[in-house]
C-alpha cells in the first residue's frame, strides 16, 4: 500500500472498473512472490524446471495467438492527430477511452488484481521514473519483478511522488479482435488488454520506457532511446561508453554482451554491459551526454543463443530465468531451442504444448520469438556502473542496419547534425524471416519507428536541439553494417564476435588517435586501419567492405526523399539540407 492519495484514488477507480475479487499489492517481498509462483505452477501457467540444473528457472507457454508485439493494435492517443505522427496508429483519446472502458468493465471478476509500484532506473537516481502497473496476470508480476525495480524503497518513493505512469493491464480473454495497447502521453497513461506478451504487457518496457518516456523526454529536454549501452575497457584500464541502436535481428543483444576476440582479451580489453535495449540520455553537469539503463533485466530472444554466439547470455539465463515458448525436455526437465546445440531432445514438448521429437519433427520446437526474462545481476559482464545513479558518459553513438550492399562496414558522421541525419535514415533490408518481398528497404529511424511516442519529424527536431545544447561535447556518431554480402550473397564480415575490431577504430576516432578519409558519406577508415590480426583464414575483403557504390547511393537518396516526405512540415529543414549536401558530395 502507498500513502500517495493520487495512486490510491487511481487504484480505487481501477477496482470499480475491473471488479476483481481481491486486490494485492506487490513490493518485491520474496514470500509473496514465492506464493504467486506456486499458484502459477499449480494452475499450469508456469512449469518448474530442474532446479539442480537450472536453479530458479521456470517455463511458460503463452497462448498460441499471443507471441509477439502487436504493432497494428498499438495506438498513441494524443488530442491532435499530427502530434502522434505518421509513425503511430492514432485515435482521439475520448473515443479510445470509451472503447477501453467497455473492454475493461468487469474484466477481472473472479480474479486477483495485482498492483505493482515500480521504478525505471536505479532507485534514488535523479533520472529514474516511477510507474504503477495494475495487472491480473501472475506471469506479468513475475516478469516485472525481473525487468524493473520493485521494493519497499520504491513504495516509499511513490508515497511522496507527484508523478507516476499509470499502467493498466488485463489479459482479459486474450481475444485478438479486442487486443489493444494504447498510450495516452498527455495523461501519463497506458492501457493494455487481451495480451500477455512482453512488449504488450510488461508496460515498463517499450510502452513506458520508450513511448511515454520519449514524449516526456521531448518536454523535459532529454532522450529516451532504443539503444544498448556498453563500456569498453582498454589495456590502460580506461573505460569508454557507447550507445548503439539497431532494428531487430541485427545482433544487438550479442553486441551488448560482447566478449572481445582472444587477441584483445590478451591485451587486456574488456566489454561491460550497462544495458541491452533501452537508454535514457541526459546532458550532465559537465555538458556531456550521460546514459542510464532504465531496466533491471533482459527480455531477449532465445533461439540462436549458444556458447559461440553469446556465452554471457547463456551464463546469465542459467539461473533465475523465466523461459517463454521454448522446448520442454521431459527427460531432464530442462529447456531447449533451435540454435542451442545439434542435439535436440526426443522426448519433449514444443512451444505449443504438443508432443515433439527433435530428431524427427518437421516444425520448429521453440517459437522464433521465444524469450528469456533474466535479471541483469546474473550477467557475468554486467558493468560495475549499472547502478550508478548518474549513469555513464557517452563517447559515441552507433547506428546499424542490415544492408547487403549500400552501407559500408563503418563510417563516421561529419558532425552531430549529420549524425542525426544518419540515424534518421537508418534502414534494414527485409530478410526471408519476414513476410513479403526479400531485400526491400525499410526505414527504422534510430530503430525507434515502433517506439517513438510522438511525431517522428518532431523527434528529429528534438535530436537536433539536444545536439545544439551539447555543442562540441556531443558524442561522435557512427554507422555500422555487419551484413554486407559478396557477389555470392555471403556475409563478408566474419561475425558478431569480431565487432570489437570496428569498435576499436570508433574509439580511436573518439579519442583523436587516428585520421580518417573524408568521403562523400562521412569519415571512413582506410582498409589497413581496421585491425585484422589473428583472423587467419577468416580475413575479410576490407577494401570491398569499405567500398562506396555511388550509383546505389543515388538510388538511396531517392528513397530517403520519399521517406522524408511522409513527415511533411514536421521534418526539420536541416535534415533536407543534410540530404542535399550528401547529394552534392556524391556528384
Contacts within 8 Å (CB) and 24+ apart, 308-311 = 308/497, 309/254, 309/339, 309/496, 309/497, 310/253, 310/254, 310/257, 311/259
Q: How far is the CB of 298 from Mn ion (least distance, A)?
A: 10
Q: Is 400 in the site for ligand SAT (CB under 6 A)?
A: no
* Contact range with ligand SAT by CB under 6 A, out of 20-28, 56-64, 199-207, 216-224: 199-207
121 close to 129: Cβ distance less than 8 angstroms: yes
Q: Mask: binding to ligand SAT, 290-329, rule CB under 6 A, as x and -? A: ---------x------------------------------
Among 37, 205, 414, 501, binds ligand SAT (CB under 6 A): 205
- Comparison of 450 and 475: residue with beta carbon closer to ligand SAT: 450
- Comparison of 69 and 169: residue with beta carbon closer to ligand SAT: 69
120 close to 148: Cβ distance less than 8 angstroms: yes
Q: How far is the CB of 32 from ligand SAT (least distance, A)?
A: 25
Q: Is 199 in the site for ligand SAT (CB under 6 A)?
A: yes
Q: Taking CB within 5 to 8 Å according to partner kind, which of ligand SAT, Mn ion, none is near residue 350?
A: none
Query: In whole angstroms, what is the distance from residue 124 CA to residue 130 CA?
Result: 11
* Contact range with Mn ion by CB under 5 A, out of 275-283, 289-297, 332-340, 578-586: 275-283
Q: In the annotation, is 250 catalytic?
A: yes
Query: In whole angstroms, what is the distance from residue 568 CA to residue 457 CA?
Result: 8
Q: Residues in the chain, how many?
A: 587
Please name the residues in contact with 245: beta carbons below 8 A apart, sequence gap of 6 or more.
Answer: 225, 226, 227, 397, 398, 399, 400, 423, 426, 446, 447, 448
CA 380 vs. chain centroid, Å, equals 20
Among 18, 119, 243, 250, the active-site one is 250
Ramachandran bin of 447, using left for φ above 0, alpha for ψ from -120 to 50, beta for the remaining angles: left
Strands 112-120 and 74-76, how do they pair? Answer: unpaired
- Comparison of 299 and 336: residue with beta carbon closer to ligand SAT: 299
| Nearest alpha-carbon partner for 394 in 247, 226, 523, 279 | 279
Q: Is 206 in the site for ligand SAT (CB under 6 A)?
A: yes
* Contact range with ligand SAT by CB under 6 A, out of 6-14, 198-206, 338-346, 401-409: 198-206
Q: Is 136 in the site for Mn ion (CB under 5 A)?
A: no
Q: How far is the CB of 509 from ligand SAT (least distance, A)?
A: 29
Q: Is 277 in the site for Mn ion (CB under 5 A)?
A: yes
Query: In whole angstroms, what is the distance from residue 312 CA to residue 380 CA?
Result: 6
- Comparison of 178 and 430: residue with beta carbon closer to Mn ion: 430
Among 117, 198, 231, 400, binds ligand SAT (CB under 6 A): 198
Q: Taking CB within 5 to 8 Å according to partner kind, which of Mn ion, ligand SAT, none is near residue 434?
A: none
Q: Is 367 in the site for ligand SAT (CB under 6 A)?
A: no
Strands 322-324 and 58-60, how do they pair? Answer: parallel
Q: Taking CB within 5 to 8 Å according to partner kind, which of Mn ion, ligand SAT, none is near residue 166?
A: none
Q: Taking CB within 5 to 8 Å according to partner kind, which of Mn ion, ligand SAT, none is near residue 299?
A: ligand SAT
Q: Is 453 in the site for ligand SAT (CB under 6 A)?
A: no
Q: Which three cell numbers stand for residue 86?
A: 505518421
DSSP assignment, residue 420? H
Task: Return the beta strands (E) in 137-225 as ranges.
Answer: 165-170, 180-184, 189-193, 223-225
* Contact range with Mn ion by CB under 5 A, out of 155-163, 272-280, 468-476, 485-493: 272-280
DSSP string across 423-474: HHT-EEE--TTSSS-TT-EEE-GGG-TTT-SS-HHHHHHHHHHHHHHHGGGS
Q: What is the dihedral of CA 152, 154, 155, 157, to 10 degrees?
A: 130
Q: CA quadruple 154, 156, 161, 165: dihedral positive or negative? A: positive
Burial readout 484-503 (b: 16 or more C-beta within 10 A, e: otherwise): beeeeeeeebbebbbbbbbb
| Of residues 235-294, those binding ligand SAT (CB under 6 A) | 248
Among 37, 60, 69, 73, binds ligand SAT (CB under 6 A): 69
Q: How far is the CB of 494 from ligand SAT (least distance, A)?
A: 26
Q: How far is the CB of 87 from ligand SAT (least distance, A)?
A: 16
| Nearest alpha-carbon partner for 278 in 306, 253, 254, 251 | 253
Nearest residue to the partner Mn ion, using Cβ: 277
- Comparison of 248 and 333: residue with beta carbon closer to ligand SAT: 248
Q: Taking CB within 5 to 8 Å according to partner kind, which of Mn ion, ligand SAT, none is near residue 198?
A: ligand SAT
Instruction: Summarize as ranges the residues that interact with ligand SAT (CB under 6 A).
Output: 69, 198-199, 205-206, 248, 299
Residues classed as catalytic:
250
Instruction: Summarize as ranges the residues that interact with Mn ion (CB under 5 A).
Output: 277
Amino acid at each position: 500500500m502507498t500513502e500517495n492519495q493520487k495512486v490510491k484514488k487511481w487504484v480505487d477507480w481501477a477496482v470499480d472498473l475491473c471488479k476483481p475479487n481481491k486486490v494485492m499489492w506487490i513490493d518485491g517481498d520474496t514470500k509473496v512472490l514465492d506464493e504467486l509462483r506456486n499458484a502459477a505452477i499449480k494452475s499450469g501457467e508456469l512449469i518448474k524446471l530442474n532446479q539442480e540444473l537450472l536453479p530458479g528457472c521456470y517455463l511458460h507457454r503463452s497462448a498460441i495467438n499471443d507471441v509477439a508485439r502487436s504493432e497494428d493494435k498499438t495506438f498513441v492517443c494524443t488530442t491532435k492527430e499530427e502530434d502522434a505522427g505518421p509513425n503511430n496508429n492514432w485515435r482521439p483519446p475520448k473515443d479510445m477511452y470509451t472503447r477501453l472502458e467497455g473492454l475493461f468493465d468487469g474484466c477481472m471478476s473472479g480474479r486477483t488484481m495485482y498492483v505493482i509500484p515500480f521504478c525505471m532506473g536505479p532507485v534514488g537516481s535523479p533520472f529514474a521514473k516511477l510507474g504503477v502497473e495494475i495487472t491480473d496476470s501472475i506471469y506479468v508480476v513475475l516478469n516485472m519483478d525481473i525487468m524493473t525495480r520493485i521494493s519497499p524503497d520504491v513504495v516509499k518513493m511513490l508515497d511522496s511522488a507527484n508523478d507516476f505512469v499509470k499502467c493498466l493491464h488485463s489479459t482479459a480473454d486474450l481475444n485478438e479482435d479486442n487486443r489493444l495497447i494504447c498510450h495516452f502521453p498527455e495523461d501519463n497513461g497506458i492501457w493494455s488488454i487481451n495480451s500477455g506478451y512482453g512488449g504488450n504487457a510488461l508496460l515498463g518496457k517499450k510502452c513506458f520506457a520508450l513511448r511515454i518516456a520519449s514524449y516526456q523526454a521531448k518536454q523535459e529536454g532529454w532522450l529516451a532511446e532504443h539503444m544498448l549501452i556498453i563500456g569498453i575497457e582498454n589495456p590502460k584500464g580506461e573505460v569508454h561508453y557507447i550507445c548503439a541502436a539497431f532494428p531487430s535481428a541485427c545482433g544487438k543483444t550479442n553486441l551488448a554482451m560482447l566478449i572481445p576476440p582472444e587477441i584483445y582479451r590478451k591485451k587486456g580489453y574488456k566489454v561491460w554491459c550497462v544495458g541491452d535495449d533501452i537508454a535514457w540520455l541526459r546532458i550532465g553537469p559537465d555538458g556531456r551526454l550521460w546514459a542510464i539503463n532504465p531496466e533491471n533485466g533482459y527480455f531477449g530472444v532465445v533461439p540462436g543463443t549458444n556458447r559461440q554466439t553469446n556465452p554471457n547470455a547463456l551464463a546469465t539465463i542459467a539461473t533465475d530465468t523465466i523461459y517463454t515458448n521454448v522446448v520442454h525436455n521431459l527427460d531432464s526437465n530442462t529447456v531447449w531451442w533451435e540454435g542451442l546445440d545439434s542435439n535436440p531432445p526426443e522426448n519433449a514438448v514444443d512451444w505449443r504444448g504438443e508432443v515433439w521429437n527433435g530428431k524427427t519433427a518437421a516444425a520448429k520446437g521453440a517459437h522464433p520469438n521465444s524469450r528469456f526474462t533474466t535479471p541483469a545481476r546474473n550477467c557475468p559482464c554486467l558493468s560495475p556502473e549499472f547502478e550508478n545513479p548518474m549513469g555513464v558518459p557517452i563517447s559515441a553513438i552507433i547506428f546499424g542496419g542490415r544492408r547487403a550492399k549500400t552501407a559500408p562496414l563503418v563510417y563516421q558522421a561529419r558532425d552531430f547534425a549529420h549524425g542525426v541525419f544518419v540515424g534518421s535514415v537508418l534502414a534494414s533490408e527485409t530478410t526471408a524471416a519476414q513476410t513479403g518481398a526479400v531485400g526491400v528497404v525499410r526505414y527504422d529511424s534510430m530503430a525507434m519507428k515502433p517506439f517513438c511516442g510522438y511525431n517522428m519529424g518532431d523527434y528529429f527536431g528534438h535530436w537536433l536541439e539536444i545536439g545544439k545544447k551539447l555543442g562540441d561535447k556531443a558524442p561522435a556518431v557512427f554507422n555500422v553494417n555487419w551484413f554486407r554480402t559478396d557477389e555470392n550473397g555471403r556475409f563478408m564480415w566474419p561475425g558478431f564476435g569480431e565487432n570489437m575490431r570496428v569498435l576499436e577504430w570508433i574509439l580511436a576516432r573518439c579519442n583523436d588517435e587516428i585520421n580518417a578519409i573524408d568521403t562523400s558519406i562521412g569519415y571512413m577508415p582506410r582498409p589497413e586501419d581496421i585491425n585484422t590480426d589473428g583472423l587467419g583464414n577468416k580475413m575479410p575483403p576490407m577494401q570491398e567492405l569499405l567500398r562506396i557504390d555511388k550509383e546505389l547511393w543515388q538510388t538511396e537518396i531517392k528513397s530517403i526523399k520519399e521517406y522524408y516526405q511522409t513527415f511533411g512540415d514536421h521534418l526539420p529543414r536541416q535534415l533536407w539540407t543534410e540530404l542535399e549536401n550528401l547529394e552534392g558530395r556524391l556528384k
